A and B are shown apart, each in its own frame.
Chain A
Amino acid sequence: MHLYMNIRRRNDLDALQQDETYDAVIVGSGPSGAILALELCQAGKRVLMLEAATETGKGFDGYQSLLTRFYSRVGKDNQSPFPVNPNALMPRGSELRKLASGETNSDSYIVQSGPYVSDTVYTRAFGGTSMHWEAKTPRMLREDFKTRTTFAQGLDWPLSYEDIEPDYRRVEREMGVAGEVEDHDGLDLSFPPGYVFPMHGLPLSYLDQQVGKGIDGSSVVLDGQTYPIKVRPYPQARNGVPNDKYDGGEGFTPQGAVASYQIDQGGRCQGNTNCVPLCPVQAKYHSGKTLAKAFATGRLDLLSQAVASKVSIDGATGLVSEIEVKVYHDPDHSAHRTIKVKAKIFILAANAIETPRLLLASGLKSSSGLVGRNLMDHAYLLNWALLPEVAGTFRGTSCTGGIVDLRAGSFRRNQAAFAVDIHNDGWGWATGSPFSDLQQLVDQRNMFGAELQKGLVDRLSRQLLLAFMIEVMPNESNRITVDPSYTDALGNMRPVLSMTIPDYTMRGAAYARQFARTIFSRLGAQDCTAYDPGDYGLVPYHGENYAIRGGNHLAGTHVMGTAKNNSVVDRDQRSWDHSNLYLVGGGSMPTIGTANVTPTLAALAYRSARAILRQLDGQTTAPSGLS
């Protein structure tokens, strides 16, 4: 079924300023904001959502215009479908350059200083970063929630896997996850008896199968332990074959595309191999699907082109009194009007960079001083090779399978764990394939005609890219700050990012490189990995250079904990300092393990929704510690 998107829009700014009837204001329309909106609206609450970006993409035609824009871009980087909006900028890989130690690049939206430059991105668009996320949806492992206790690394969560498990299931329903419980065999996590995912797992790609043939059943030894390895499918939030056994035999109805009129799209994934940056048929979950249902309650209002610019605190009560919002008419002009909006509860869901940016720009560092600190993001190390035989690369979803056997283990005392993705889109991420290959074959190898056709098969259809997603532990010096000298068109301070890749992660990276070489040799593949010394993400480690890519899995910047002095929010993501303020999103996560962060941050959103409803209904007043 497709979903009607009938947006209730507020254009009456004067009346809005006077409006005191909202139960909650939510900043941001990504998955976090959308889930909160739906849960609160379904419980009968009135909600105002502020979105910095335009509404393009909310309806079918707008969505199509993003697609056409993507087709037309020569540089198809992962933000290419989204036009530049100076009033609500977003990071773009194309703005980055290599920086010497201490050198600063303030031409990019996120201001960074060398030597390490992160190319992490997020999207400021209606639907947030879920417009171009890849939609891989692994859960975190049980041991990921207590790494301090178990491995003397990172921080323990004030929650356990068991606390969060029911909310993972809610996320899997809302996002329509395709997966199989059996594919989690041997991993340190569990499902209730008889549980199945809403949809059957997506089949492994032919490429995955070729890799599997070469390595399944073999093993590696690390830190004295033997780890059997195999290729297995990832759970993913994209429409596949619904599982009849879901929900005690009720089955599952997949959610199609959103539109303001009747269309038929968003059925089964068609293998467009374009999940990032934009699924052309909306088979992939994006938060618009959740928002469509929230709008249908009639209790959600949207104010778009509205950049939250300041959170104001009432000095006497310590409560948030209002949020200042800059509302602009035209993305290309900075003319705007500043208004103030009020509600009983304020929810910041602007993601782990924009939420701390907004807090810091409002002068709110929190009692613990931890706002903006502990910034985490997975460190990606790419390894690429040519398989001996044609493997049909460049088909399927961006990634269907990988190797997850080294997500857990006692080695985590010394070095980071990782999960490995097999990329169905070839070397694209590492080298700009297939366009770079085409240029090379024609311009340098002087191929044309039938010879070129064969050359392309030889060069492209054998490509194998292993992307290692390596864990990064919280570290207070990795952080987001603001600086009045760096502002955007509306005068809002831009985020300043300082990040170094910790040795713990680099030990994992060095092992990852070794692991990749082992896999390649088992496959008889030609290792073509080479890190460009001019790469802006280059990290030297023990005499070798590694190009570390950003992972887009941002977290940690308003960390959750047991008390006001060791954290920014409690385990319901409620601010310790301001009891009507919730900071919702990856920023609350104390660790990220080796799971893409969205299922976990979305699970936390359900938890917060319940806490907010309790608070609105007068059942709680104090933040919840480890009581």
Chain B
Amino acid sequence: MTIDTQISKAVLEEEVYKILADVYDPEIPVLSIIDLGIVKNVEVSIGHDQSKTSVVTITPTYSGCPAMDVIAFSIRTSLAQHNYHVIIKQQLSPAWTTDWMTAQGKDKLKAYGIAPPQLQAKRLEKLFEEAEPIVCPRCNSDNTSMISEFGSTACKALHQCNDCKEPFDHFKCH
């Protein structure tokens, strides 16, 4: 491979990442798939006819997350608009963790009203173990309680703030 193709590949890969930063999670529309940390790798190859092929490796958040099919579809259409052939690979190991969510993604979540996952938060193991209090994304009080470990989607739990009384979603540590 010549240095020129290496450079143009690196430029194209950067372009692909930029395009992917505009692909959003359909269930949490403020988070891009880059924010979520589910894009594991991008590789671009250039054919003899100068056609561009992008291999995007993604990892699912939860095994049954229905958003994954929609996300894969959005990746295809977004890259196709920029004249890429698209190959999507799914990688299960290492298993996705909320620790891969970007700091920017967590800020966006909080602004949207969803308490973000804490970095390397303690996982509950013992039965009836109380979760550490989750800070209310609206009033920042830590006087909150969990209503249900399972919320509106597989990745969220339902909490309530005892001060401002608002119920809120918490993006669970996973």
B is a partner of A: no
Using a CB–CB cutoff of 8 Å, the interface residues on chain B facing chain A are none
